[in-house]
Structure 1
Amino acid sequence: MWSIAMVGDTVYVGGNFDYIRPPGTAPGDPQQQPRKNLAAFNATTGQPLPWNPVVEGTVFTATTPQTDCDSLGNDQWICDAVWEIKPSPDGSKLYVGGDFAKINGEWRSKIASFDLPSGSLTTFKRAVNSRVKALTVTPSTVYAGGYFTAVDGIARQRLAAFSTTDGSLTSWAPTADRSVHAIITTPDQTRVVLGGDFNRINGNPPHGMGAVYTDTGASAPWATGVDYVSDTRRSWVTDLVKDGTTIYASANGEGTFDGRLALDPTDGTQRWIDNCLGATQAITLLDGILYSGSHAHDCSSQPDGFPDLASQFPYQRLLAEPANPSGDTPPILHWFPNTNGGATTYNQGPRAMDNNGTHLWVGGDFTKVNGKDQQGLTRFASLAAGADVNPPELIAKPQVSKPNGTTGTLKVDWKQTWDRDNKHLKYEVIRDGTTVVHTTEADSRFWDLQTMTFTDTGLAPGSTHTYSVRAIDPFNNRIRSSESAPVQAG
């Protein structure tokens, strides 16, 4: 799953896939439904919608492996993925870009559009000679970026624009010397901010980011780029989002910056930087929080961030941080759902994110979410849409011992558990299966779980007891350990 766009209560997803199926089911399950690189779902229920355009590529011959394409054997390849989906501001059109050549049997070379809510393919038809990777749409114009060098045989160096009225190619023609991965207009709509793996926009630095004017395509002031040391050690911008005052960027890097940035939209000066390690592929804004999909493994640079996880824990592939922190770098918030790295060689996991104000959808190449089978697509709800019903993680059974030199006393030790979206937990120590003999509260983080202790006194000498520990989150979701081995109080 490479892209997600939400229009009201509908989620449109694009990528490189042939089927959709319910969570937890295996390929070939009877509930599986055919979908060819595009699909739609109800945002609230998660149920698939009937929309089913067929997105295809054309077969070509190549003797070397083709990145992000499917091998058909005998040096035959096909590239048909949808890499980007963006709705028009009024929600009446859905634009898609990618590697495809046909939709529903009709020629649509790398870019197309659909009427909404009907989902019918429109007459918008252009011939783009290579991948369209990025789109953004204003009431009058569709801006596109990617790997292409021509549109309808007319030179366009990885950037082009089309009229939303009749689909015609406009005169807007800034140039990028290498690939463009993300495009967004500034809040005042006067400039287009560009992100990617380029070194120059209109011949001007910095690497990986730039801005041009929406009307002329001429370069606009832009101060902040991402790292470039060499072609084998560099960063590139993967995604851009905005609120009313700020542009936010995510980056991938090879031994270089691969976290997130907040930037002034007027000139690109940096407002804050998050230097977590682990390539970031997608970001979205919801209620003043910047959510990100990455394979973060070291956020020790950030307040409340975790240390390098490589030796002890899985990478933490979903993160949240305040979009407007009080300092020059945001803290990592206590929101730790997770995916695995997926089945591809990228070992990435999340690749795309979007939300409609109540539901956050995440797509990618993962096959598990929070340890459960769920491939390529998942969703989370804000508290405005539904209660927190998820208990803390499993808690190990406590260890019970009789302190030396005591009578009628037992010591209970247990290791904290943790909760994916609540830092503060309550613990109850339960004697003999039913009696709560101690209650305490503590903060816990998955990378720093502490041992807690309670000493039970006044027990009958020679009596034998077992203990368990229950963890309770602020929404009264509970998890209980198994019973300890019986121990005699002496």
Structure 2
Amino acid sequence: MTVAPISPPTSTIRRRLLTAFGLIGLVLTATVSTPAVADTSPPPGVPVTITADDLPTWQTDGVVWTIVMLGDTVYVGGNFDHIRPPGTAPGDAQEQPRKNLAAFNAVTGQPLAWAPTVEGTPFTNTKPQNDCDDLGNNQWVCDAVWELKLSPDRTKLYVGGDFTKINGQSRGKIAAFDLPSGGLNGFKHELNNRVKALTATSTTLYAGGYFTTVDGVARQRLAAFATAGGALTSWAPTADRGVHAMITSPDGTRVVIGGDFHRLNDNPPHGLGAVYTDTGASAPWATGVDYVSEARRSWVTDLVKDNEAIYASANGQNTFDGRLALNPDDGTTRWIDNCLGATQALTIMDGLLYSGSHAHDCRSQPDGFPEITPDNPYQRLLAEPTRLDPAHDTPPILHWFPTTNGGPTTYNQGPRAMDNNGKYLWVGGDFTTVNSQKKQQGLTRFGSLAVTRDVNPPEPVRKPTVTKPDGTTGQLQVTWKQTWDRDNKKLKYEVIRDDSTVIHTVESESRFWELQDLTYTDTGLAPGSSHTYSVRAIDPFDNRFRSVRSDPVQAG
């Protein structure tokens, strides 16, 4: 099946599924009731998210395309030349060279000494890839690292990309490092184009991308190598277009493949499929992503899994670009999230699916936001449960709203890569700011309440207005607009008279897209007395923000 985008919902949520051969009469509906809410202090029985407070983290001077975590070590790959401390600008005196690969301590955000040098071959006159670096004078170089994957026993780190050399040694688009030493090992091959996706079992490393030969042997965008000795194997399924993501099924018998291909082993559907790990023959698979035309299509960008399902993210041009949960045995759909705004990265932590996107309209989802105003056009980091509430056929958008900008590149995406170790969640991409324009390039991280505190206050509270109710004596009415918090839906408000006396306290739930006016009438004031008022917003962890004082108003 292919996933069709849906129109904004009215009283129900509707999904239309298309097979690769045409429409079928399957429409799922669910009445939208009060959705589940999660944050760092949710009601009993509701899952707890990590905090939305970004933690101090070293930065890159370019794009991070891939992240993998091994315990408290974070490996990142991409297209960058240096790393630098948080809060500093490019060229800072503390900047350190790192050529497309780097490693960091997950707990501190500090760099580790591992620093391989990844290089590519310069090209002249004809730009070979849209993602290659422009060196000027009609020269380009393709050297980015696009994929990092660990072996199941965690003793090897596999690397895929555009590069031709690592540490001065020939490595044609694929390489491997021994762990924990971090030394480049003897695994060596020459692929004629980009490796974009990797996945591994105990016996085999699987690769996908845009290549058509491996060491001169035909391999149509998919290949496999023996983990013992590194030899190219006979496993040779085919994809007719680019492969962007790969993952083995929970039982290890299949490789699930995502990308922009139309056919896998000459079989539909578009963008998603599965083959057997041993033979490469096609395995049963039901669900794909949209293809209407080159100008209206979707492609799979990332795949993650738990013990129950495979989860896929998609980018789309005027079509589906949200998230999918799929049965790993046959690819049938468990749920569809039709948020609009291309999704590039996924990770699962404590039963929640965290995603990086440039979401701008999640009306299709319970507790989802509508098309966002020009002042706040994208919500680039989201969380939702992997398992559905029985009341819905699609997951709610949880109350976790950190965000980044889209960065200076033409991609204008923001988050591009995510991984976690159960305590910390790291995000990489082409962004240059995090949370309220805080300068931070390429990398950021967040923590669970087990390892960090929720310390950021709610967003600023606007100056309240004060009026004298008509026909009253000794009364003033205070009106203020709700504020919101990135990871707590319920806030407490204190109304403060004359800069010192708390005269009213109220709790209220709020979300950034629908802030309401709240009022309180102060009574028993001396007629003719003049007063000012401010409002303080307090989250469940006692983080506070106080508005400026109102203009003075005289009670009647």
TM range (shorter): over 0.9
Aligned residue runs from structure 1 range 25-44, under 5 A: 25-44=88-107
Residue equivalent to 2:459: 393
- Matched with 2:416 is 351
Task: Show the 5 A alignment for 1:259-278.
Answer: 259-278=322-341
Which whole-Å CA distance do the structure 2 matches of 1:380 and 1:7 have between them? 16
Q: 1:159-170 counterparts in 2 under 5 A?
A: 159-170=222-233
2:448 paired with 1:360: no
Distance 2:296 2:125 in 1: 28
Alignment partner of 1:59 is 2:122: yes
- Give the C-alpha shift of residue 63 in structure 1: 3.4
CA distance in 2, matches of 1:310, 1:238: 27
Partner residue, 1:464: 530
- Compute the displacement of 1:77 (Å): 1.1
Deviations 1:431-485 (A, max 9, x none): 1111110000111000100010000000111111111111111111111111111
Partner of 2:76: 13
1:85 aligned residue:
148
Structure 2 counterparts to residues 220-369 of structure 1, below 5 A: 220-326=283-389, 327-369=392-434
Kindly provide the CA deviation profile for residues 239-295 of structure 1, in whole angstroms up to 9, marking residues without a partner as x: 000000100000000000000000000000000000000000000000000000000
Distance 1:478 1:193 in 2: 47
Select which of 545, 548, 555 maps to 1:479. Answer: 545
**Normalized against structure 1, the TM-score is what?**
0.99
For residues 294-338 of structure 1, give each alpha carbon's deviation from its aligned partner in whole angstroms, at most 9, with x where no partner exists. 000000000000000143423000000000112320000000000
Match of 1:201 among 252, 259, 264: 264
Question: Structure 1 residue 188 and structure 2 residue 251: aligned?
Answer: yes
Give the Cα–Cα distance (whole angstroms) in 2 for the partners of residues 390 and 128 of structure 1.
48
Give the AA of the match of 2:470.
Answer: N
Partner Cα distance (1:312, 1:36) in 2: 36
Aligned mate of 1:384, from 445, 450, 460: 450
Instruction: Please name the residue that 2:277 is paired with.
Output: 214
Whole-Å Cα distance in 1 between the matches of residues 151 and 279 of structure 2?
21
Partners of 1:10 and 1:66 lie apart in 2 by: 31
Determine if contact 2:147/2:160 at 8 Å carries over to the other structure.
yes
Q: How many residues align?
A: 490
> Which amino acid is the alignment partner of residue 342 of structure 1?
G
Query: Equivalents in 2 of 1:488, 1:443: separation in Å?
Result: 31
Q: Which of 171, 189, 193 is the equivalent residue of 2:234? A: 171
Contact kept? 2:302, 2:312, Cα under 8 Å = yes
Opposite residue 264 of structure 2, the aligned amino acid is I
Choose between structure 1 and 2 for higher RCO, CA contacts under 8 A separated by at least 6 residues: 2
1:101 pairs with one of 145, 164, 171: 164
Q: CA–CA distance in 2 between the matches of 1:76 and 1:388?
A: 48
Q: Aligned partners of 2:94 and 2:137: how far apart in 1?
A: 33
Report the more deviating stretch, 401-410 or 261-270.
Answer: 401-410
TM-score by length of 2: 0.87
Question: What is the match of residue 198 of structure 2?
Answer: 135
Identify the residue that residue 50 of structure 2 maps to in structure 1: none
> Secondary structure of the residue that 2:79 maps to in structure 1?
coil
String of CA shifts for 1:77-110, please: whole Å, max 9, x gaps. 1000000001111211100100000000000010
Q: Which amino acid aligns with 1:359?
A: Y
1:417 lines up with 2:480 in the alignment: no
Match of 1:453 in 2: 519
- Mapped to 1, the partners of 2:550 and 2:128 lie a distance apart of 56
Q: For the Cα contact (< 8 Å) 2:483–2:537, is it kept in 1?
A: yes
**Aligned mates of 1:24, 1:384 — CA distance in 2:** 25
- Structure 1 residue runs without a partner (length 5+): none
SS at match of 1:203: coil
Distance 1:267 1:430 in 2: 60
- Tell me the residue number matched to 2:509: 443
Q: Is the CA contact (8 Å cut-off) linking 2:127 and 2:140 kept in structure 1?
A: no
**Structure 2: gaps (5+ residues):** 1-63
Q: Structure 1 residues 341-350 or 55-64, which shifts more? A: 55-64
For residues 22-66 of structure 1, give each alpha carbon's deviation from its aligned partner in whole angstroms, at most 9, with x where no partner exists: 122111111111100000000011000010000000111233574
**By how many angstroms is 1:390 displaced?**
1.3
Note the alpha carbon deviations across 1:6-36, whole angstroms, 9 max, x for none: 0000000000000111122111111111100
For 1:36 and 1:64, locate their aligned partners in 2 and report how far apart those are by CA, in whole Å. Answer: 21
* Percentage of pairs with the same residue: 76
Aligned equivalents of 1:272, 1:26: Cα separation in 2: 43
Deviations 1:129-153, CA, capped at 9 Å, x for gaps: 1000000111111110000001010
What CA distance in whole angstroms lies between the structure 1 residues aligned with 2:311 and 2:272?
12
Residue aligning to 2:134: 71
Are 1:118 and 2:181 counterparts?
A: yes
Q: Give the structure 2 partner of residue 48 of structure 1.
A: 111
